Amino acid sequence: MKRILVIDESEVIRETLALILGREFVVVKRPHSRGAFSFSDSDTEVDLLIMGLTPTIGVESSALLRFAARAPFAVLFLVDSKSVAKAIEDRDKVGCLAKPFNPFELKEKVGRLLARRSVLEKKLPEPRQDERAGYLEFPYLSRTAASLVHRFATTKLALLITGEIGCGQERVARAVHGRQARPTSRVSLNAAEISADYLAQKSFEISCNGRLQETVVTLLIENLEKVLPSGQSALLNFLEEDRLGEWRLLTTARADLLEKVYQGEFLESLYYKLATLTLRLAP
């Protein structure tokens, strides 16, 4: 199991985080030390540090980034300022979460950072050349998003691309598909039509693509927010049957799916299956 070190001056926060994360991770809890934190303070190997920040430590985003850059693990800062959290959003293996937060936000942040850490530390194969690769560069994407998406393209992990209408999720998704290290065939699903019968028809198409072309199959689902509740259950069952051979999930959404999870409008287990990696595009 992945190991998480929680450092916060509040015992309540330490215990709350351990309660939320303890089923999926080994959680080690510590109060803030009197002196400045040193990486040598961690006498056990950890995959993620969750550190609560106090006014005495300081919350300047540049200082936090310098601190995290030296860390041999992913870092999640708990801060009181939403502006600081936004400034460090989507930066490699470091993230911020503004208080108060709900359990879904915490689990999503933790999962995202751990997945990114595993991607960034691996020596990945060179991506294939593709005419759409320019859509993965600045100015189509922010420099931060561009630096991440090339790494994401060469993995097999599920990727969810989100953003407002008009920010190019579908264009980026197709460019990511074209840049994958191995040749892949693509099967697209219409999110609004997803049902058990619809997926049964698509299953044959997916299996044929994989066998006939001897390639990895990329399952592309656009506008995921349009999946009906019945379709969500059908899609989750379909993905968990594991009968499709070698494949990859690539999805887009124009709504905040994590908020929908929190409101009970989107299945939590389906969200985490589709959003191992996430990329949020700027308006």
Q: 78 with 149, same domain?
A: no
Considering the domain boundaries, does residue 259 fall inside one? yes
Q: Give me 3's structure tokens.
A: 């190991």
pLDDT score for 139: 54
Q: How far apart are CA 155 and CA 229, in angstroms?
A: 29
Contact between 251 and 176 under an 8 Å Cβ cutoff? The reply is: no
Q: What is the mean pLDDT of each run of 10 residues along the chain (283 residues)?
A: 88 91 89 60 73 65 71 85 68 80 87 78 54 54 69 81 81 74 75 92 72 69 93 92 71 90 92 88 76
pLDDT score for 277: 86
Give the global pTM: 0.65
Considering the domain boundaries, does residue 143 fall inside one? yes
pLDDT score for 131: 47
pLDDT score for 17: 92
Q: 140 with 115, same domain?
A: no
Q: How far apart are CA 219 and CA 203, in angstroms?
A: 11
- Look at the block and give the residue holding tokens 């953003």: 163
Q: 263 with 151, same domain?
A: yes
Q: How far apart are the first and last CA of the chain?
A: 37
Considering the domain boundaries, does residue 126 fall inside one? no
Q: 137 with 272, same domain?
A: yes
